[in-house]
């Protein structure tokens, strides 16, 4: 069974209009995010066709846990959240907490491990990942003194790059970047710095104390940068890149040219088409479509010429 979802749009001061490239009807030219698969109180996808048409994803997950390989325990939450992010301007310098801190300080929320697949970006674009403080004491001093240019670690970015962002990592998507984000189902973000910009005549609030609580110091960059993921294989009708394994999700990129039979032994799959068009088991697929491949569908057929990002929960 396939559950096609409708996106939830978020207007932001840093957003633009590139989400129109996915055939989305965005609310304004400051649309920063499309939550394409979401079951969160701040954004809940609606199933757009089939047996559960018109129901929210959160309701379907709660009432039919068997579709997701879940046990159906009381209060269970859908584990993942998939977004497409259009950063016309820079996002704030920020950090996310882990599960333990978020549960204790954010009303039982999940923490936030996330990853970015760079769909497109301007020439000479960059992102922020990590910081240059040598220890926590140095971090506190640099933040208190607002030595942002000394603190922030900025690196170049290119289309097709991939980054895994763990809790405690200082990070920011910079202007001119279009990203697909796979993350834990959480909306907890602590702003460290926001360029002193104004929204409705006022600075947006910062979360300095929470940030200093959760930022990992010193920052340890991966020994092998995961810009292109963990591996690539060529199989009949497709190329498959395994992009990420984390404690919470796995992520693949699939490029189909012809006919490809996929078989994943996982509770369920999220799939978003990022280029091209085709079919999944005979149902039409086009750029911008997102769906959940339920636990009842362990094997499926992709046909056409398309590229998709798929993800699955590891625990939730």
Of the listed ranges 114-128, 198-212, 278-292, the least confidently predicted one is 198-212
pTM of the predicted model, to two decimals? 0.95
pLDDT at 227 over 80: no
**pLDDT tens-digit readout, 238-267:** 999 999 999 999 999 999 999 999 999 999
**pLDDT tens-digit readout, 184-216:** 999 999 999 999 898 888 889 999 999 999 999
Predicted pLDDT at 35: 98
Same fold for the pair 2-214 and 231-313: yes
Q: Which residue(s) pair with 159 in the sheet?
A: none
Please name the fold of domain 231-313: Jelly Rolls (2.60.120)
Active site residue 191: yes
pLDDT, average across residues 24-32: 98
**pLDDT tens-digit readout, 46-91:** 999 999 999 999 999 999 999 998 766 655 789 999 999 999 999 9
pLDDT band at 3; cut points 50, 70, 90: very high
Predicted pLDDT at 296: 81
pLDDT band at 297; cut points 50, 70, 90: confident
- Catalytic annotation, pick one of 62, 144, 191, 197: 191
pLDDT band at 230; cut points 50, 70, 90: confident
Predicted pLDDT at 316: 46
In the chain, domain spans: 2-214, 231-313
Q: What's the CATH superfamily of 2-214?
A: Jelly Rolls (2.60.120.10)
pLDDT, average across residues 119-134: 96
């Amino acid at each position: 069974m396939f559950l096609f979802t409708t996106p939830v749009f978020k207007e932001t001061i840093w957003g633009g209009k590139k989400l129109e490239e996915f055939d989305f009807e965005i609310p304004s030219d400051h649309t920063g995010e499309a939550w394409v698969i979401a079951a969160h109180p701040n954004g809940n996808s609606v199933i757009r066709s089939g047996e559960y048409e018109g129901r929210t994803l959160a309701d379907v997950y709660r009432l039919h846990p068997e579709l997701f390989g879940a046990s159906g325990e009381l209060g269970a939450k859908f584990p993942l959240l998939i977004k497409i992010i259009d950063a016309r301007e820079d996002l704030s310098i920020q950090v996310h907490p882990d599960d333990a801190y978020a549960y204790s300080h954010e009303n039982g929320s999940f923490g936030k491990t996330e990853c970015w697949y760079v769909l497109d970006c301007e020439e000479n674009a960059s992102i922020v990942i990590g910081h240059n403080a040598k220890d926590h004491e140095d971090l506190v001093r640099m933040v208190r003194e607002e030595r942002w240019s000394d603190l922030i670690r900025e690196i170049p970015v290119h289309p097709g790059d991939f980054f895994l962002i763990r809790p405690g990592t200082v990070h920011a998507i910079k202007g001119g970047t279009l990203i697909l984000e796979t993350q834990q189902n959480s909306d907890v973000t602590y702003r460290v710095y926001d360029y002193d910009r104004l929204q409705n005549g006022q600075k947006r609030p910062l979360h300095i104390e929470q940030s200093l609580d959760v930022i990992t110091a010193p920052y340890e960059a991966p020994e092998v940068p995961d810009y292109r993921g963990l591996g690539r294989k060529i199989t009949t009708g497709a190329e498959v890149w395994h992009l990420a394994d984390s404690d919470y999700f796995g992520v693949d990129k699939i490029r189909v040219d012809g006919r490809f039979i996929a078989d994943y032994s996982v509770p369920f799959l999220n799939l978003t088409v990022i280029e091209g068009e085709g079919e999944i088991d005979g149902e039409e697929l086009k750029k911008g479509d997102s769906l959940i491949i339920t636990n009842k569908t362990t094997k499926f057929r992709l046909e056409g010429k398309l590229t998709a990002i798929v993800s699955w929960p590891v625990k939730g």
